[in-house]
Amino acid sequence: MQAAIHIDKVEKRYGEVHALKGMSLTVERGEFFGLLGPNGAGKSTLINIIAGLTRMDSGQVSVLGHDVVHDYRRSRQHLGVVPQELVYDPFFTVREILQIQAGYFGRGKQSRAWIDSLLEGLKLTDKAGANMRALSGGMKRRVLIAQALVHKPEVVILDEPTAGVDVELRSSLWEFVKALHKDGHTIVLTTHYLEEAESLCQRIAIMNDGQLIALDSKESLLARGVGKTCTVSVTLAQPLVQIPEALATKIRSVDGGHIEFILNRDTDTIISLVDGLRKLGAEIVDLRTEDADLEDVFMELTGRQVS
Ligand SMILES: Nc1ncnc2c1ncn2[C@@H]1O[C@H](COP(=O)(O)OP(=O)(O)OP(=O)(O)O)[C@@H](O)[C@H]1O
């Protein structure tokens, strides 16, 4: 079976900036795939190369077996990309924009019913006649999603689709995307919201500095973090006056009497932490432990916060 997206040894430089350093990756058909990485990791460059918007210096990329350079039209026919930036033509209505886009892909009148169902699925029906410039940011984002899907592509890439979208809208967008996935579409998602990737994606690739630094199932990635660290939040009756070196090295954050410790599961125990605090005369009023989430795994792998 053809892979949904096959990326092989892709190199890209912008002058001095080496944006992609021999990037290789395969997304299988039907996957819900997460592509994560800090700002500047190269995610958008990679997506633009897959969409045929940016030229790679060397390497090879195909969508459902169609080379994105030599067989651009067919690869593009199978691909829908929701861009990160809100780029739109302010003079058209929502329905006009979707009809024009359908026309680009050789789908004229027969796309009317599909456009109606996209509008309905994205809760845009009552905005169909509205001018793009009159819509809120969240609504514009929904139109971009509809625009990317108007030619019924099998593979859908969403680049930060929920950036700047409020929580309520975000969850209805996810319901829509989940339904697409259930219908058999391959979904590739880039996001800064790790909890979204954690709850939606089956496999996750983590990029840093133009390279792939991890590619695994969500469970295995989480297990890597869980195996090494856990977070312990302690609330003390009084803030500590002085913290000895041995404890200070384990601290993630201090906010008055509330301290977060990161413990290494191989060498630290919660009991020894509690003992250490008691020896300092601290009265513990609350203690919570948390397993590592993707954010911890990400920090461990890249040494950086996500945004
Ligand atoms: N058109 C361009 N000209 C010059 N440099 C660029 C261009 N586009 C991207 N870059 C640089 O290439 C690197 C990768 O950028 P890219 O936008 O692909 O990263 P990203 O992972 O998508 O980041 P973000 O999460 O901020 O979108 C960065 O150092 C960026 O500054």
Report pLDDT digits (tens) over 270-294: 889 999 999 888 999 999 988 777 7
**Calpha distance 217→59 (Å, rounded):** 25
Statement to judge: residues 131 and 157 lie in one domain: yes
217 plus 233 within the same structural domain:
no
Domain boundary among 179, 205, 223: 223
Q: Which is more confident, 106 or 287?
A: 287
Does residue 164 fall inside a structural domain?
Answer: yes
CA distance 303 to 307: 12
Looking at residues 185-194, what average pLDDT do you find? 88
Is the predicted pLDDT of residue 304 greater than 70, yes or no?
A: no
Same domain, 201 and 94: yes
Residue 272 sits in a domain whose CATH number is: 3.30.70.1560
Q: 268 lies in a domain?
A: yes
213 contacts 207 by C-beta, under 8 angstroms? yes
CA distance 171 to 122: 11
Q: Is the pLDDT of residue 307 over 60?
A: no
Instruction: Point out the domain boundary residue: 193, 223, 253.
Output: 223
Comparing 173 with 60, the larger pLDDT belongs to 60
Residues 66 and 133 in one domain: yes
Residue 209 located in a structural domain? yes
Cα separation values, 178 from 63, 121, 173, 187, 254, Å? 21, 12, 9, 9, 39
Assess whether 152 and 286 both reside in one domain: no
Tokens of 83: 């861009």
Residues 59 and 167 in one domain: yes
Instruction: List, for residues 122-178, the tens digit of each pLDDT value.
Output: 889 999 999 988 888 888 888 999 999 999 899 999 998 877 677 777 788 888 899
For ligand 1, whether the C-beta of 17 sits within 6 Å is yes
Range of the domain at 180: 5-223
- Residues 76, 179: one domain? yes
- Phi, psi of 93, deg, nearest 5: -80, 170
13 in contact with ligand 1, CB cutoff 6 A? no
Same-domain status, 241 and 111: no
Among the candidates 223, 255, 270, a domain finishes at 223
Q: Does any domain span residue 301?
A: no
What percent of the chain stands above pLDDT 70? 97
Please give the tally of structural domains in the chain.
2
- Is the distance from the beta carbon of residue 43 to the nearest atom of ligand 1 less than 6 Å? yes
Atom of ligand 1 nearest to the CA of 190: 25
Q: Where are the alpha helices (DSSP H) in the chain?
A: 43-50, 72-77, 94-104, 112-121, 137-149, 167-182, 194-200, 218-228, 245-248, 270-279, 294-302
Both 67 and 137 in one domain: the answer is: yes
Percentage of the residues of the chain whose pLDDT score is greater than 90: 47
In this structure, the answer to whether residues 195 and 264 fall within a common structural domain is no
Q: Is the Cβ atom of 80 under 6 angstroms away from ligand 1?
A: no
- How far, in Å, is the centroid of ligand 1 from the Cα of 11? 13
Q: What is the reported pTM? A: 0.81
For residue 41, the CA-to-ligand 1 centroid distance in Å is 7
Tokens of 39: 């700002």
Determine whether the shortest distance from the Cβ of 47 to ligand 1 is under 6 A.
Answer: no
Q: Examine residue 296 and state whether it is found in any structural domain, yes or no.
A: no
Query: Nearest CA to 54 among 65, 38, 43, 39?
Result: 43
pLDDT at 284: 92
Same domain? 262 vs 277: yes
Which residue is listed with tokens 């139109």?
A: 143
Q: Ligand 1: which of 39, 159, 213 to mutate, most ligand atoms within 8 Å of CB?
A: 39
Check which CATH number belongs to the domain holding 72 and give it.
3.40.50.300
Whole-number pLDDT of residue 187: 97
ipTM exceeding 0.90, yes/no: yes
- The per-type count for the chain, helices as H runs and strands as E runs, is 11, 14
Q: What is the CA(42)–ligand 1 centre distance, in A?
A: 6
Find out whether 284 and 277 touch, Cβ atoms under 8 Å: yes
Q: Cα(40) to centroid of ligand 1, in Å?
A: 5
On whether both 205 and 266 belong to a single domain, the answer is: no
* Secondary structure (3-state) at 20: strand
Contact yes or no for 252/231 (Cβ under 8 A): yes
Is residue 78 situated within a structural domain? yes
Ligand 1 and 39: CB distance under 6 A: yes
44 CB near ligand 1 (under 6 Å): yes
Does residue 226 have a pLDDT over 70? no
